[in-house]
Amino acid sequence: MNALMGAAEMRLPAGSVPRVQSRSREIDVLFVNWRDASHPEGGGSERYVHQVAEGLAARGLRVTIFCAAHGRAPAEETVRGVRIVRRGGRLSIYLRALTFVRRTRPRLVVDVQNGLPFASTLVTRSPVVVLVHHVHREQWPIVFGRAGGAIGWWLESVVAPRLYRRCRYVTVSEATATELAGLGVARERITVVPNGIDAAPPVVAGPSAEPRLIVLGRLVPHKRVEHAIEVVARLRDRRPGLQLSVVGEGWWEAQLRATAAELGVADAVEFRGFLGEQDKHEELARAWVHVCPSVKEGWGLVVSEAGTHRVPTVGYRAAGGLRESVLDGSSGLLVEDLDGLTAAVDRLLADQQTRRRMGAAASAHAATFDWPASVHGFAGVLAGAVQGSPARRPAGASASGAVLQDVDRLVGALLDGVVGIQGGLGPDDGDHTDGGSPAEGDEHGDEGLHSGTRFRGGRRRSVTLEGNVVIHNSAPVTPASQHA
* Pair 173, 78 in one domain: yes
What's the pLDDT band for 433 if we cut at 50, 70, 90? very low
Residues 157 and 135: their CA atoms lie apart, in Å, by 8
Residue 204 lies in a domain: no
How far, CA to CA in Å, does 146 sit from each of 115, 220, 221? 16, 17, 15
Q: Is 80 exceeded by the pLDDT of residue 453? A: no
* Pair 179, 217 in one domain: no
Residue 205 lies in a domain: no
Residue 30 lies in a domain: yes
* Pair 219, 168 in one domain: no
* Pair 108, 60 in one domain: yes
Identify the DSSP state of 313. Answer: E
- Strand pairing partners for 86? 67
Residue 201 lies in a domain: no
Predicted confidence at residue 406, as pLDDT, reads 54
75-130 per-position pLDDT tens digit: 999 999 999 999 988 889 999 999 999 999 999 999 999 888 999 999 999 999 99
In percent, the amount of the chain with pLDDT more than 70 equals 75
What's the pLDDT band for 413 if we cut at 50, 70, 90? low
Predicted confidence at residue 329, as pLDDT, reads 96
User: What mean pLDDT value characterizes the chain?
Assistant: 78
Domain hosting residue 399, numbered range: 2-196+370-481
Best CA proximity match to 345, nearest among 357, 360, 355: 355
Among 366, 394, 415, residue at a domain's last position: 366
Residues 351 and 321: their CA atoms lie apart, in Å, by 26
Predicted confidence at residue 415, as pLDDT, reads 57
Q: Is 50 exceeded by the pLDDT of residue 427? A: no
Q: Into how many domains does the chain fold?
A: 2
Among 319, 338, 366, residue at a domain's last position: 366
Q: Is 50 exceeded by the pLDDT of residue 141? A: yes
* Pair 191, 220 in one domain: no
* Pair 280, 362 in one domain: yes
Question: Cα-flanking dihedrals φ and ψ of residue 57, to 5°?
Answer: -65, -35
* Pair 410, 346 in one domain: no
Phi-psi region of 437 (alpha: psi -120 to 50; beta: other; left: phi over 0): beta
Residue 207 lies in a domain: no
- Strand pairing partners for 171? 192
* Pair 319, 178 in one domain: no
Among 366, 392, 409, residue at a domain's last position: 366
What's the pLDDT band for 409 if we cut at 50, 70, 90? low
As a whole number of Å, the end-to-end CA separation of the chain is 24
Residues 458 and 464: their CA atoms lie apart, in Å, by 20
Residue 85 lies in a domain: yes
Predicted confidence at residue 86, as pLDDT, reads 94
Residues 135 and 120: their CA atoms lie apart, in Å, by 19
State pTM to two decimals.
Answer: 0.71
52-61 per-position pLDDT tens digit: 999 999 988 9
> Which of 156-160, 226-230, 312-316, 442-446 shows the lowest mean pLDDT across its residues?
442-446
Q: Which ranges of 268-351 does DSSP label H, i.e. alpha helix?
A: 277-286, 301-307, 322-325, 338-350
* Pair 302, 357 in one domain: yes
Question: Cα-flanking dihedrals φ and ψ of residue 228, to 5°?
Answer: -65, -40
* Pair 118, 174 in one domain: yes
Residue 440 lies in a domain: yes
CATH number at residue 235: 3.40.50.2000
44-77 per-position pLDDT tens digit: 788 899 999 999 999 889 999 999 998 888 999 9
348-403 per-position pLDDT tens digit: 999 999 999 999 999 999 999 999 999 999 999 999 898 874 444 433 333 323 33
Residue 132 lies in a domain: yes
* Pair 53, 186 in one domain: yes
* Pair 260, 277 in one domain: yes
How far, CA to CA in Å, does 49 sit from each of 174, 322, 341, 400? 19, 20, 31, 24
262-273 per-position pLDDT tens digit: 999 999 999 999
